[in-house]
Amino acid sequence: MKSIRASLGVLAFLTASALTAQVTAIRAGLLVDPATGSAAKDQVILVENGKITAVGPALAIPPGAAVVDLSKKTVMPGLFDVHTHLCLNLRTQGGNGLQALLNSLLAATAIETTAYRALEGASNARDMLRSGFTTVRDVGNAGNYADTALRRAIEDGLVPGPTVVNAGRIIAPFGGQYHGIPPERADITIPEYLYADTPDEMRKAVRENITFGAKVIKIVVDDQPYKYSVDDVRTLVKEAAAGGLKVAAHCATDEGSRIAAEGGVASVEHAYRASTPTLQVMKDKGVFLVGTDFTKQASHEMGMDEYHGWVVDRLKRAYQVGTPVAFGTDVCFVKDGETRGTLSVEFVTSFVEAGVTPKQILQAMTVSAARLLGMEKERGTIAPGFAADIVAMPGNPLDNIDAVRHVDFVMKGGEIYRKD
């Protein structure tokens, strides 16, 4: 076993050496910069050793460079989805209400092995990358750390997938997101969540997650009648920060969203019912809204039909207030003829319904998401020194955001994963 790993190490080393020697030149018909909402014609992007080395209109292409001709396409930075669950496929079978959804979460927890969950993750990761998502934040529900295994497998080049920032086990008050579990079988929900009710338990849960490979801490503030308090959230945020990690907080209610924001989390997830004053608190504290803004279809599939109207209204108010927004979907259902990637990118339609401009949507999907993840100097922008995470599509997303649903070229870290 040791020798196999050693050989793989040598292969990885050789690949890295080969990349060092190889320059790739991308001819971009139109190059979109989400930060400014501008587009420049006929640009050249030089890529070497996985990173962008130069961008400009009349760059000399070095002899021997591999040329990628995207002169008929629009090129932009790779997309981010900062709220996904790669290692979870819920089979809601048409949606029979929220209880059906929770039952299917219980089924995934109780029946599927962690090994199978990791393989589901590999499949979803591949599909996300194909649709243009080069970075994702995976916010838990991954059995016994299938997400850490998936992240490592992608980093080691064993399976294709986006850069993954994973949460490990979700930290929550007793019971997690389960309701109606019989006391005789309380352990049936283990290991999906880490229950932590006292400050000591919270600190231990954060440390356990970090030890087992989490790169972000996900907490649930308000899924039971008892909620985490502002002091509880501060305890979790402080311990996560000591380990260099940020905190993402599941909050369905207005009160939960306010508690999380005042407790200093990096992002409030969902915030389905957040009031305008709460969105203002989030803005004042620089807390991101990751709205998981269900499309009409997604709401229906999840058995949560009324949520679509709620999130569109809340998204509209968030942009009016100026709350920072990063694109996150929460897609975890499966649908024939669709992939995790196509279902996720479709969420731009909720933004359009809320009156959000294409420039703002592209920012939520790139530079803003990178800022939430603390990657704003590494990913999310096409400029020298940044990772070569680059996608292309027919049409200009600044004219019609629907273009991002038709990505047909994907490069991640200088490697081409899709070229139709």
In the complex, the residues that contact Zn ion under the rule CB under 5 A are 330
Q: Residue 395: which residues within 8 A CB-CB, separation 6 or more?
A: 74, 402, 403, 406
DSSP code string of 176-210 = TT--S--GGGGGGGTTTEEE--SHHHHHHHHHHHH
DSSP code string of 345-358 = HTTHHHHHHTT--H
Min CB(328)–Zn ion separation in Å? 8
Min CB(83)–Zn ion separation in Å? 6
Is the CB of residue 126 less than 8 Å from the CB of residue 159? yes
Q: Report how far residue 204's alpha carbon sits from residue 190's, in angstroms, rounded to the nearest whole number.
A: 16
Residue placing its CB nearer to Zn ion in the complex, 154 or 249: 249
Residue placing its CB nearer to Zn ion in the complex, 83 or 126: 83
Q: Residue 334: which residues within 8 A CB-CB, separation 6 or more?
A: 89, 90, 91
Burial tier of 59 (Cβ tally within 10 Å: 0-12, 13-18, 19+): middle
Residue placing its CB nearer to Zn ion in the complex, 48 or 330: 330
Q: What is the bridge-based pairing of β-strands 247-251 and 217-220?
A: parallel
Angle at 307 between CA 301 and CA 309, to 5 degrees: 115
Min CB(85)–Zn ion separation in Å? 6
Residue placing its CB nearer to Zn ion in the complex, 46 or 219: 219
Strands of 167-314, DSSP E = 170-172, 193-195, 217-220, 247-251, 267-270, 288-290
The residue type of 205 is A
Min CB(3)–Zn ion separation in Å? 41
Min CB(151)–Zn ion separation in Å? 17
Min CB(88)–Zn ion separation in Å? 9
Residue placing its CB nearer to Zn ion in the complex, 120 or 330: 330
Min CB(108)–Zn ion separation in Å? 13
Residue placing its CB nearer to Zn ion in the complex, 223 or 232: 223
Tokens of 130: 């194909």
Q: Which residue is nearest to Zn ion (CB)?
A: 330
Q: Report how far residue 323's alpha carbon sits from residue 13's, in angstroms, rounded to the nearest whole number.
A: 44
Min CB(268)–Zn ion separation in Å? 12
Residue placing its CB nearer to Zn ion in the complex, 223 or 330: 330
Q: Report how far residue 393's alpha carbon sits from residue 396's, in angstroms, rounded to the nearest whole number.
A: 8
Residue placing its CB nearer to Zn ion in the complex, 70 or 220: 220
